[in-house]
Amino acid sequence: MKKLIFISLATLLLGGIFYSCKKDKASLSGVKSNAWNAGSQDQRLYDQLKDLCNKYKSPQHARGFWLSVFCGVVNDFCGAAGGAELGGQIGGLWGAGIGAIVCGGVASFSIIDHQQFGHDDLFRFASGYQDETPSNPGNPYDAVGSSHNRLLQQCFMNYTNALDDEGSLSVPALLQFIQKDTENYYQGPSQEAALIPKFGEEEIKMLLQQFDGWKVNDSGDWGPILKDLASLNYIQENEQPLLELYLNTISNCDNLDSFNKFGISFENDVAGSDSLNDSEKAKLLSCLSLCRYSCNFWYQFLH
């Protein structure tokens, strides 16, 4: 079976998720931002989410089949976080969602390249695919995740059209898929669809190239990725402790139903927080929605 070939657009972003170094085994539940003061709204949100995480966290680290799913989710998380930051700069609140879809979609393809699935495998899965991800009415950016999954389905079914003349993942083709899906979702032109052309090919390539040089492995270590995203200002100081709690919890989960319940509860706590402004919520909720849908997509695909 012919190996799918994707160039740096996919691998640069996704590559660094899994460093060969071991994750610090100290509990991340004690990580707190230095900018947070005891009794502050930020600290109260952190403690609220920490209590939620403790209800769902398994004592065992991700392994076996769930590890493969988790690695896919972290790939998409990385793309969504960077894309949402870039998108927020381009198009405000919904721009963060569009950015998460664009870069999260690109990120997804590393799994396909890494596992060496063929076009027939992709087409067969996509032809019968029905998204079974439970929606979350409490997340105003729930559509980000569902759009991401539809994007993957379209790319799987139209694989040759998703590549450029050199056999690389085509950013213009990706944007075209997203624009069509967004117009279908809103049943015509919309403010959201109008944002998509603002994501220039060079801007996206520049974003992805910042991840060059990272190494891929299958250990599932995610700690260094947050530090690198923070150093590039894709994750802000008050966001990092919350995302550490989230990733630490889902890395210790091996049940899709529990993951979905946890993800929806986590999103709702973020959405209802008084300590985050609208832009911060747009970025976090876009990223979290994409991760929840991504987990369900890869669970179905790899199962």
pLDDT of residue 263: 96
- CA-nearest of 273, 244, 261 to 27 is 244
* H helices present in 158-255, as ranges: 171-185, 191-195, 201-209, 223-231, 240-251
pLDDT of residue 222: 74
Question: What confidence tens digit (pLDDT) does each residue in 124-134 have?
Answer: 888 999 999 99
- Whether 75 and 14 have beta carbons less than 8 Å apart is answered as yes
Q: What angle do CA 76, 81, 85 make, to 5 degrees?
A: 145
pLDDT of residue 31: 38
As a whole number of angstroms, the distance between CA 69 and CA 250 comes to: 10
pLDDT of residue 4: 28
pLDDT of residue 110: 53
Q: For residue 45, count other CB atoms closer than 10 A to its CB.
A: 21
CA atoms within a 13 Å half-sphere pointing along the CA-CB vector of 35: 9
- CA-nearest of 271, 273, 266 to 291 is 266
- The answer for residues whose C-beta is within 8 angstroms of residue 26's C-beta and 6 or more apart is none
Give the torsion sign (CA, 247, 253, 258, 259).
positive
Greatest CA span in the chain, whole angstroms?
Answer: 58
The identity of residue 11, as a single letter, is T
Q: Is 130 exposed, middle or buried (0-12, 13-18, 19+ CB in 10 A)?
A: exposed
| pLDDT under 70: residue ranges of the chain | 1-41, 58-63, 106, 108-117, 167-169, 200, 203-220
As a whole number of angstroms, the distance between CA 287 and CA 221 comes to: 19
Instruction: Say how many Å lie between the first and final Cα of the chain, rounded.
Output: 20
pLDDT of residue 181: 81
Listing DSSP states for 69-102 in one string gives HHHHHHHHHHHHHHHHHHHHHHHHHHHHHHHHHH
